Amino acid sequence: MSLISSLLPVPWAADALCGAQLRAPDLGVCLRLLVLSPLLEECVIRAGLQEWLIRRPWRERRHAWAWPVLASTAAFGLLHLGSGWQAAVAVLAPGLALALLYQRTGRWWWCALVHSGFNAFAISVCGF
């Protein structure tokens, strides 16, 4: 029984949040979740979309930082929709944290490193 299964009150919730890959990760899955996905997703979402939005004309307005942060967080959630709507919703809070980190630092590789840490946490909670 995984840690998440023991914490959630309904048995199907663990199945919805932890897919088969997180429950029994092999070397390939770990490589993809800990290295490849964080690098690619953060390069596209943060260095691509969020950076592009930061440079748009609304940057002169009050709270201009909010649009790039919220849009990139939504895109990050949509990117995970292939794993189910529950997974897409579950990554919104980490996606928001990553968007705020990028907004503050402007360094997508910091986001990739933290993203890898989030994925390592998910593997440890779901798989063991």
Q: Is residue 14 in a domain?
A: no
- In eight-state DSSP terms, residue 60 is G
Q: Is residue 1 in a domain?
A: no
> Residue 32 in contact with residue 46, Cβ under 8 Å?
no
Higher pLDDT, 86 or 70: 70
**Mean pLDDT value of segment 99-109:** 97
Q: Is residue 16 in a domain?
A: no
Give the Cα separation of 128 and 124 in Å (integer).
Answer: 6
Instruction: Quote the pTM value.
Output: 0.84
pLDDT band of residue 16 (cuts 50, 70, 90) is low
Q: Is residue 13 in a domain?
A: no
Q: Is residue 5 in a domain?
A: no
pLDDT band of residue 1 (cuts 50, 70, 90) is very low
- Tally of structural domains, the chain: 1
Q: Is residue 53 in a domain?
A: yes
CA dihedral 58→64→70→76, nearest 10 degrees, is 70
